[in-house]
Structure 1
Amino acid sequence: MTNRRSGATPSWSAPSGLRFFFLLFAGISVLTGLIAAIARLGHWLNTPAADLAVDHGPLMVFGFVGGAIGLERAVAVRARWAWLGPAASAAGVVTTLAGLPKAVPGVFFALSFLVLGLTYVVVHRRQPTLAVLTQAVGVLGGVAAAVVWASGEVFAYAMPLGVLFAVATVIGERLELARVSFTGAAAEERVTALVLALAASSLVFLVHPQIGFAVMGVVLILVALTTVRVDVARHLVNSTGLPRYSAVCMLLGYLWLVVGGAIWVAFGHLETGFVYDAGVHAIFLGFVISMIFAHAPIILTSVIRRTLPYHPVMYVAVVLLHAGLALRLIGDFREATALWQAGGVINVIAVLLFLGVAVFLTGRRALTRRRPGAARERVVR
């Protein structure tokens, strides 16, 4: 998600105001998406927030995850045209919140993914790698998910394609960050092949939802088990500070990806209900959000040029995220509404707490650096 190894030759660096402006829309999307989550849990039903409930998935997957990734790539590729992606994503968020027909924000989100795909093409031409190819495969899922949702389908039918986008992007990131230890090129090729298999099974899903969904579940399990075997996070968990924190988040993420894949295989594709809730949130909360927690210090540094320093307090949000998710799934499988709601509320608190801590620590670091004679802290990546 950054230009660490893009091979880019600096050509145009976006001003900080532009980067913060589009980051604001990703922030709006996640905050409104969390409000929608509370509404879906049965709270605030008689308030205007209830109108957001149906847009929880698009706001979180397209507006937040897709918007943040698109913004980071626009910064990395250093080309003015790349900013059409964040602009389209912002338009998608605005038109979703304005209540326009799904076709309108859906087209904007699809356009943002298409521009993201073009940035991967540029990066791949500069330095061809399987990591970039893996992430580019995810773009296919993002575009398809936005188009399916825009066509009028419920988000449950766009969700598996959104999973392809999110999983391919995260796994490609693990490759690109050079924090995956390989025993030769074969390991990288296996991971990439599995992501391609995930894309192929998503095509099967579009034709035969139940068969494709089950196959996707199997592949998700294989992706998690194959990647974690070569991910250096297994060793960094024994270190200290930021490396250990990131490793803990990543290993928990891989665990939840296995859980999510197993739920998909065992129960098949559903549009609503407790089992649907368990499967989708095991992947998007347990895997995707946990990976975002792990990589946030690097992501923020690359986008806003300000450091998010490590602090042990960051573990509080991690504990709440995974404990709340475990409670949520217990509620799902026991069909216990009170447990499901409690777990869901804890999940929302965890994400909000993490955002608040990130803003506070980043701001404090910036103020410290402005003080005359302030010692520069050493950033551990």
Structure 2
Amino acid sequence: MAHEIAAPRRTDRPSTRRTAKPLHVAAAVAAALLAAASLVAGVGGGLVRIGAIGVQGAGPAGPAAAAWHGAVMVCGLFGTLIALERAVALRHGRWVPLAAGAGALAAWLGAPPPAPLAAWVVAGVGLVALYVHAGHTRAWSFHLAVELAGAATWLAGTLAWTVGARDAALVGWCGFLMLTIAGERRELTQMLRLPRWASVAFVGIVALVPLAFALAAAGAAVGAAWAWWGACAGLALWLLRFDIAPRQWRAGGWAGHTAWCLIAGYAWLLVAAAAGLVQQRVDGAALHLLLLGFVFAMVFGHAPIILPALTGLRPRYSRWARLPLLLMAASLVARLLAETGGETGLRAAAGWGHAAAIAWFAATMLHATWRARGAAR
């Protein structure tokens, strides 16, 4: 059931049961370690920026990690993981996630800005090429085109950052995550009979993302904000209405866990869109609601499905896996109250809550996978 909710059968993904070459395994392990390092540095840099801890030398909580916090999380962590999943599925292009992870490592270790940006440009080009390869060797589809557009926005956002177009970079990087998730979820709804207007609406929602990027690149900040947060609101409403997850919330095991995570993520996406439309800018509290509330809810929900594809082991269900979702929600509410009232202490506590939710979920999944490994033995 969880497979049906979060990772449908794809014609462009070969079986992961074939024996991988040692070099491919080593590359995948290295990319996973780089993603883990990006997560640590991203969380550490975020805690510094939010005032929860002081600058800690030149490591994951150093000044470079704080300065590159958002880029390390999006390009380093999520760029590496998404590229790794794509490369493993296609058994091709293992260097793409390595480039994304290496860029993050260079960033938080304090390398000159051209180094990480160059690595992310290479990774963005590589991910675009992987999607094109999937289309040519497997089959082209609408959802694959949406994911390809997501990879292209990652590349465009990185190029925008190199020329100092910060708003365009934020739209491009966040658009990468949103379009990738939208493409994956749209793939699922192929099993459902949707009204024609729903399909047309989805195309319109997706089209708002490149429009927002173009407006941001042209310096029309308010117009970009309306287009971007309009796309987020539209996607949230569309998924709440047509996605399979809201229909599976009563399921047990990982299926129910995934459903609850996705429902919560869609709700946070809608809240983020409302906050962003009020602020009329692509930044601030609304952006953190998007990344921490929506994107991490997707991570919490999809991890039990993605791990078997990457490791060959299906984690055993644990009821404790839902606790991080509640902890993240509580910390985001505290973050909103702190942003509204300007309370520094509550803001720092919210930051620790974000970190605790992520750490708890990582520990839960490691334990669940270890239990599965022991059972397999």
Whole-Å Cα distance in 1 between the matches of residues 191 and 78 of structure 2? 22
Alignment of 1:126-137 (within 5 A): 126-137=138-149
The 8 Å contact of residues 236 and 269 in structure 2, kept in 1 or not, is answered as yes
Q: Counterpart of 1:313 in 2: which secondary structure?
A: helix
Aligned to 2:102: 91
Whether the 8 Å contact between 1:141 and 1:199 is mirrored in structure 2 is yes
Q: Distance in 2 between matches of 1:230 and 1:132?
A: 19
The match for 1:373 is: none
Contact 2:285 2:336 in 1 (8 A): yes
- What are the superposed Cα offsets for residues 9-65 of structure 1, whole Å, 9 maximum, x if unpaired? 679945433322211101110111111111112133242224121111011000001
Contact 2:316–2:368, Cα closer than 8 Å, also in 1: yes
Determine which of 52, 55, 73 is the counterpart of 1:43.
52
| Counterpart position of 2:151 | 139
Map of 1:352 onto structure 2: 359
Structure 2 counterpart of 1:7, one-letter code: D
Which of 340, 343, 353 is the matching residue for 1:336?
Answer: 343
1:367 aligns with 2:348: no
How many percent of aligned residue pairs carry the same amino acid? 25
For residue 172 of structure 2, what is the aligned residue in structure 1?
A: 161
Distance 1:12 1:84 in 2: 19
Task: Quote the residue 1:376 is aligned against.
Answer: none
Shift of residue 313, structure 1, vs aligned partner? 0.6
After alignment, is 119-128 or 7-16 more displaced?
7-16
Q: Are residues 1:113 and 2:131 paired?
A: no
Does the Cα contact within 8 Å between 1:277 and 1:332 map onto a contact in 2? no
Deviation at 1:184, TM superposition (A): 5.2
1:94: how far off? Answer: 2.3
User: How high is the TM-score relative to the length of structure 1?
Assistant: 0.89
Structure 2 unaligned spans of 5+:
1-5
Counterpart CA distance in 2 for 1:242 and 1:46 is 39
Q: Deviations over 1:339-368 (max 9, x none)?
A: 222112101110011111111110121012
Match of 1:228 among 240, 250, 263: 240
Pairing 1:17–2:26 present: yes
Amino acid at match of 1:248: W
Residues 299-329 of structure 1 show CA distances to partners (whole Å, capped at 9, x for unaligned) of 1111222222321010111111111111111
Equivalent AA in structure 2 for residue 283 of structure 1: L
Structure 1 residues 296 and 178: CA distance shift in structure 2, 3 A: farther
Aligned residue number for residue 273 of structure 1: none
Matched with 1:34 is 43
Which letter maps to 2:269? L
Superposition map of 1:32-71 within 5 A: 32-48=41-57, 49-51=61-63, 52-71=65-84
Q: Which runs of 5+ in 1 are unaligned?
A: 271-275, 371-381
CA offset at residue 332 of structure 1?
Answer: 1.0
Q: Hey, what's the Cα distance between the residues in 2 that align with 1:31 and 1:46?
A: 14
TM-score by length of 2: 0.89
Change (3 A) 1:267 1:282: same
Distance verdict in 2 for CA 1:3–1:109, change over 3 Å? farther
CA–CA separation in structure 1 for the residues paired with 2:28 and 2:182: 25
Provide the residue aligned with 1:324 in structure 2.
331
AA partner of residue 200 (structure 1): L
1:130–1:192 contact (8 Å) kept in structure 2 = no
Does the 8 Å CA contact 2:160/2:169 hold for their aligned counterparts? yes
Contact residue 315 and residue 372 of structure 2 kept, 8 A: yes
Q: State the alpha-carbon separation in 1 of the partners of residues 197 and 96 from structure 2.
A: 34
Task: Answer whether contact 1:260 1:282 (CA < 8 A) is retained.
Answer: yes
Letter in structure 1 aligned against 2:321? M
Give the root-mean-square deviation of aligned CA atoms: 2.2
Distance 1:32 1:284, change over 3 A: same
Tell me if structure 2 keeps the 8 A contact 1:179–1:232: no
Q: Which amino acid aligns with 2:336?
A: L
Are the counterparts in 2 of residues 44 and 50 from structure 1 also a CA contact under 8 Å?
Answer: no
Q: Tell me if structure 2 keeps the 8 A contact 1:321–1:346.
A: yes
Give the corresponding residue for 2:3.
Answer: none
Q: Aligned to 2:68, what secondary structure does the other structure show?
A: helix
User: Among residues 153, 162, 165, which one is paired with 1:150 in the alignment?
Assistant: 162
| Range with greater deviation from structure 2 (312-321 or 202-211) | 202-211
SS in structure 1 at match of 2:315: coil
State how far apart, in whole Å, the 1-side matches of 2:296 and 2:194 are: 28
CA distance in 2, matches of 1:259, 1:54: 27
User: What is the number of equivalent residue pairs in this alignment?
Assistant: 362
Distance 1:37 1:75, change over 3 A: same
Q: Distance in 2 between matches of 1:179 and 1:338?
A: 47
- The whole-number CA distance in structure 2 between the counterparts of 1:85 and 1:103 is 18
- Aligned residues of 1:130 and 1:188 also touching (Cα < 8 A): no
* Cα distance in 2 between the residues matched to 1:307 and 1:118: 29
Alignment match of 2:229 (pick from 217, 228, 237): 217
Greater relative contact order: 1 or 2 (C-alpha under 8 angstroms, separation 6 or more)?
2
The aligned amino acid for 1:249 is: C
